[in-house]
Amino acid sequence: MIKRLLYAFVAVILIAATLSSCGGNGVPATSPTPDVSPSAEVSPSPTPELSPSPSPVVSPTADPTLVAWNGAVEHVFFHTLITYPELAFHGPNAKGNDDWMVTVPEFNKIIQSLYDKNFIIVNMNDVWSEYTNANGAQRMKQNTLYVPAGKKPLIISFDDISYYPSYIGDGYPTKLILGQDGDIWAYAVDPRGNTVISQDIDAIPLLDRFIEEHPDFSLNGAKGMLCMTGYEGLFGYRTQVNSYGNTPEEETRRQAEILRVKPIIARLRETGWYFASHTWGHINLGSASFETLKADTKRWKDQVEPLLGSTTILVYPHGARPDSSTGGDVWVNNAGTEVKWLLDQGFRMFCSVGPNYFTKIRDDVPALMCDRIDIDGIKLRGDPEKLIRFYDARLVWDDARIVDNDKFKRAW
């Protein structure tokens, strides 16, 4: 405990200069619309049943405790964690916060439940890959994973880890920092206005610590996939170019923010975290024009990719699929103009949102489509049996959530 307090004290001093330059350098931001909507809950085709666990096949490697897995690899995701429920659930944004987020205690219980149910975190890039088929065409395939006997592979992702300015004062952390120990810590301001630097208030350091204590919860050191926008920067650092362009002063601040965030990105990569595009502007790809899509992707390539590195994974904001306006399930049956253009930009794996397991490998283009299952307040308030394979909402529930209002009723 003394060691952690010393690190936190030193970190406060180190970030003092950072905080003076972290103010918004552009037009005021509004909270992005959460990635889950009733329309996003509908899979484009009948949801297949989960494949049964494959028959164990001993690993061809020297480790006889590993067995082959070719079955379903499920994918769950979270948004930013609520650190201070007394702020999040008692203000103008209380309903949205309750709908889309989970609290720190809920997150800890869910992670423990996933571990107890024998899930093991895997990197999405290890699950599927591109190959050349017998006809010389590029296609996607599911790889055989070798996991400890009895374990079930699981992808975990986290959306919008930019710590938007609009979240400040609403019960969330405000940025990630690098401690003197070289690890990731979170910075926040508590309801009384006190500075808090801790590894107990944010999903990234919490999962880091859990895997450190339970290394068999991660396959080959995999952590979570961070699905990043760029319009308000990265990890609490304002690295964006404003839509109207930056003034010289704003550009100077931006470059300073880039220098501050680079060591954090490097540490995340080093410790098993990896990145996906969530579009630059958190745009709805189901309704955005083709020109909007192209302009947004250019901003991602210019402002975000140089910092995070390239990625073949695109996570749809709002769960909205491109080309969906031209037939609803056109993406499943026929890759349209927008999807083909995204393939040309290097994307291969496309993630939407759905209530159940769904994965489809295209046979005409090198693309994979899958749904992710949201873990949030809506799911916690809903049917507790629906996601019982992951956790029991009745055991996870945080009593800090508002329960005496018609808008916040539980189904159980």
Give the Cα separation of 13 and 9 in Å (integer): 7
pLDDT of amino acid 19: 41
In angstroms, rounded to a whole number, what is the distance separating the alpha carbons of residues 46 and 63?
39
The three-state secondary structure class of 175 is strand
Tell me what pLDDT residue 338 has: 87
CA distances from 53 to 150, 229, 333 (A): 9, 35, 28
**Low-confidence spans in the chain with pLDDT less than 70:** 1-62, 323-335, 404-407
Q: Chain centroid to CA 6: how far?
A: 30
Place of tokens 């192209």: 294
- The pTM for the full model equals 0.85
Q: Which of 294, 136, 97, 124 is nearest to 219 (CA)?
A: 124
Residue 382 falls inside a structural domain: no
CA gyration radius, the chain: 21
Q: What is the pLDDT of residue 244?
A: 81
C-alpha distance from residue 272 to each of 212, 223, 330 (Å): 12, 5, 35
DSSP state of 58: B
Is residue 85 included in any domain, yes or no? no
Distances (CA, A) of 36 to 114, 124, 134, 375: 22, 21, 39, 10
Q: What is the pLDDT of residue 25?
A: 38
User: In whole angstroms, what is the distance from residue 57 CA to residue 54 CA?
Assistant: 8
Residue 258 belongs to some domain of the structure:
yes
**Helix 290-299 / helix 337-344 crossing angle, nearest 10 deg:** 20
pLDDT tens-digit map of 114-172: 999 999 999 999 999 999 999 999 999 999 999 999 999 999 999 999 999 999 999 99
Report yes or no on 35 lying in a domain. no
Structural domain total, the chain: 1
At 333 the pLDDT is 53
Contact 229, 281 (CB under 8 A): yes
Residue 373's DSSP bridge partners are 76
Write out the H or E segment, with its range, that includes residue 263. helix 248-270
Specify the CATH number for the domain of residue 205. Answer: 3.20.20
Please give the full DSSP string across 400-411, using - where no structure is assigned. Answer: TS--SSGGG---
**Inside any domain, residue 411:** no
Q: Is 180 left (phi over 0), alpha (psi -120 to 50) or beta?
A: alpha
Compute CA 285 distance to the chain's CA centroid, rounded to the nearest angstrom: 18
The strand pair at 184-189 and 195-198 is best described as: antiparallel
Domain containing 204: what range?
2-27+73-79+118-124+150-375
In a domain, 309, yes or no: yes
Q: State the SS3 of 236-260.
A: CECCCCCCCCCCHHHHHHHHHHHHH
Q: Is residue 302 part of a domain?
A: yes
Q: Is residue 61 part of a domain?
A: no
